């Protein structure tokens, strides 16, 4: 049975060692487990009661437009592999060739012995792709944001952060020990007010998601950049969801606004979403790259990405150039889906991208809707607090370039019927 949100299930089962192995359970170890978990048990029950319990769902197939879960084939509307590159034959071939030539692991952190000419090549390609002087690869987007903010900002600095920024930005802000000013979502006037009364600071940093990961709306980057210039604040843009998806050539949200290559904007972007591989990078000046190599702890103290991942990320950039229709199809599918959801009467907030929230509000209702849709053959995740604010639970729908229009039409029909059945529309 699949675990969706609030479904009754035993917490003990989730943590039972039998879930992980078929060996007989060692009773002494179980007692130890229980003692250790006394407080956790309580918290887990509270989460369950509040409708906020999260469970992993195991796919029995690769993550494409259709997936298999417990032997059932369902339509996937929840992947960030927006261009379908994770299963692209060229990506797989490069990953295989790199593993054959360079092995499966990198052996150490890049400063110790894990930096190869593969990384040099990828970083050159990424800098060209983002039209910056240089780029530095990190192991994940989470690590890139945390490393970048911790390295650039300290207790003498101020970071201005959009209230809906990704958790990795929030954690990076906390780790920096800077003063944090959270401004209302995309509110330029409020941000200007905060900058105006900033007082003394060594560095001022404005940080924002480019495409907000749960709302699918876009940050006003030209206005943020102008504000940054007026107040001597550096703009950091997290383009995890715009890279490979937005802009005439898929270079991301800065390209979408005609700002690609702006020397006063630092860009973080991921390789594991539209680019179908894994990892992330920061693009900016040569000095910034050198500084991060010396100061970003999440870069310094971790084993480097494996060669297969580095090679496939590089091939993703070639595919983007060779197959521009992928980005066009993604945009068409997103527009088709969003128009359909709006016509049905759903609230999709201000989504302008391939990410579409279907606002519900109540977390139990969001889970019930996801569960009903799964019964009908559609996989969409319910997103609840703390990922989104209280009262803003939703389904997060994402489309891919390789979804068929017929599948999306059918999905809209099902989503409409289910929404009516549950009184959401």
Report, as residue numbers or ranges, the catalytic residues: 213, 241, 273
Q: Phi/psi class of residue 378: alpha, beta or left (left: φ > 0; alpha: ψ in -120 to 50)?
A: beta
| CA distances for 107 relative to 102, 103, 169, angstroms | 11, 10, 29
The token duo for 69 is 């879960």
> In angstroms, what is the minimal distance from the CB of 30 to ligand PLP?
34
**23: burial class by Cβ within 10 Å (0-12, 13-18, 19+)?**
exposed
Strand order in the sheet with 265-270: 134-138, 280-284, 265-270, 234-238, 204-209, 158-162, 179-183
Q: CB of 29 within 8 A of CB of 37?
A: no
Rounded Cα distance between 384 and 362, Å, is 9
> In angstroms, what is the minimal distance from the CB of 243 to ligand PLP?
10
DSSP letters for 99-155:
HHHH-S---S-IIIII--HHHHHHHHHHHHHHTSSEEEEES-HHHHHHHHHHHH--T
If the CB atoms of residues 114 and 141 are measured against ligand PLP, the closer one turns out to be: 141
> In angstroms, what is the minimal distance from the CB of 169 to ligand PLP?
7
> In angstroms, what is the minimal distance from the CB of 252 to ligand PLP?
12
If the CB atoms of residues 114 and 272 are measured against ligand PLP, the closer one turns out to be: 272
Max Cα-Cα span within the chain? 67
If the CB atoms of residues 181 and 238 are measured against ligand PLP, the closer one turns out to be: 238
Cα atoms found within 13 Å of the Cα of residue 328, Cβ hemisphere only: 5
Q: Which residue has its beta carbon closest to ligand PLP?
A: 141
> In angstroms, what is the minimal distance from the CB of 418 to ligand PLP?
26
> In angstroms, what is the minimal distance from the CB of 420 to ligand PLP?
31
Rounded Cα distance between 237 and 262, Å, is 11
DSSP letters for 158-200:
EEEEETT--HHHHHHHHHHT-EEEEEPTT-HHHHHHHHHT---
If the CB atoms of residues 304 and 368 are measured against ligand PLP, the closer one turns out to be: 304
**Angle (CA) 119 120 126, round 5°:** 85
Contacts of 418 (CB under 8 A, 6+ apart): 369, 372, 373, 376
> In angstroms, what is the minimal distance from the CB of 142 to ligand PLP?
4
If the CB atoms of residues 334 and 424 are measured against ligand PLP, the closer one turns out to be: 334
The token duo for 37 is 């978990």
> In angstroms, what is the minimal distance from the CB of 277 to ligand PLP?
10
The partner residues of 236 in beta bridges, in order of sequence, read: 207, 266
If the CB atoms of residues 305 and 382 are measured against ligand PLP, the closer one turns out to be: 305
If the CB atoms of residues 168 and 312 are measured against ligand PLP, the closer one turns out to be: 168
If the CB atoms of residues 65 and 242 are measured against ligand PLP, the closer one turns out to be: 242
Q: CB of 298 within 8 A of CB of 146?
A: yes
The partner residues of 181 in beta bridges, in order of sequence, read: 160
The binding site for ligand PLP (CB under 6 A) comprises 140-142, 145, 166, 168, 209, 213, 238, 240-241, 270, 272, 280
């Amino acid at each position: 049975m699949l675990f969706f949100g609030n479904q009754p299930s035993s917490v003990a089962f989730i943590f039972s060692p039998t879930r992980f192995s078929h060996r007989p359970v060692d009773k002494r170890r179980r007692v130890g487990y229980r003692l250790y978990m006394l407080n956790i048990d309580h918290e887990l029950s509270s989460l369950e009661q509040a409708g906020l319990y999260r469970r992993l769902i195991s796919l029995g197939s690769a993550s494409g437009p259709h997936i298999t879960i417990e032997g059932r084939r369902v339509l996937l509307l929840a992947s960030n592999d927006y261009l379908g590159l994770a299963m692209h034959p060229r990506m797989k071939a490069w990953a295989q060739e790199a593993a054959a030539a360079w092995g499966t692991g990198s052996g150490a952190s890049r400063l110790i012995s894990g930096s190869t000419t593969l990384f040099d090549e990828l970083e050159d390609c990424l800098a060209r792709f983002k039209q910056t002087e240089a780029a530095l690869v990190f192991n994940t987007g989470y690590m890139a944001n945390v490393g970048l903010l911790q390295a650039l900002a300290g207790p003498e600095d101020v970071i201005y952060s959009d209230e809906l920024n990704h958790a990795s930005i929030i954690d990076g802000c906390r780790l920096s020990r800077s003063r944090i000013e959270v401004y209302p979502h995309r509110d330029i006037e409020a941000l200007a007010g905060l900058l105006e009364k900033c007082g003394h600071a060594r560095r001022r940093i404005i940080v924002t998601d480019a495409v907000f990961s749960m709302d699918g709306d876009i940050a006003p980057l030209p206005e943020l950049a102008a504000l940054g210039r007026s107040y001597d604040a550096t703009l950091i843009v997290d383009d995890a969801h715009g890279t490979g998806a937005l802009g005439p050539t898929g270079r991301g949200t800065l390209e979408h606004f005609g700002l690609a290559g702006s020397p006063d904007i630092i860009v973080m972007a991921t390789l594991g979403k539209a680019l179908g591989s894994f990892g992330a990078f920061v693009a900016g000046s040569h000095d910034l790259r050198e500084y991060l190599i010396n100061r970003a702890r999440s870069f310094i103290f971790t084993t480097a990405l494996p060669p297969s991942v580095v090679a496939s990320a590089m091939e993703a950039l070639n595919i983007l150039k060779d197959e521009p229709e992928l980005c066009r199809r993604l945009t068409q599918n997103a527009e088709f889906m969003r128009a359909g959801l709006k016509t049905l009467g759903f609230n999709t907030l201000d989504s302008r991208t391939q990410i579409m929230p279907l606002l519900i509000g109540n977390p139990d209702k969001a889970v019930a809707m996801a569960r009903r849709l799964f019964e009908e053959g559609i996989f969409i995740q319910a997103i609840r607090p703390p990922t989104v604010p209280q009262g803003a639970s939703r389904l997060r729908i994402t489309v891919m370039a390789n979804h068929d229009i017929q599948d999306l039409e059918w999905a809209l029909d099902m989503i409409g019927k289910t929404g009516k059945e549950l009184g959401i529309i």
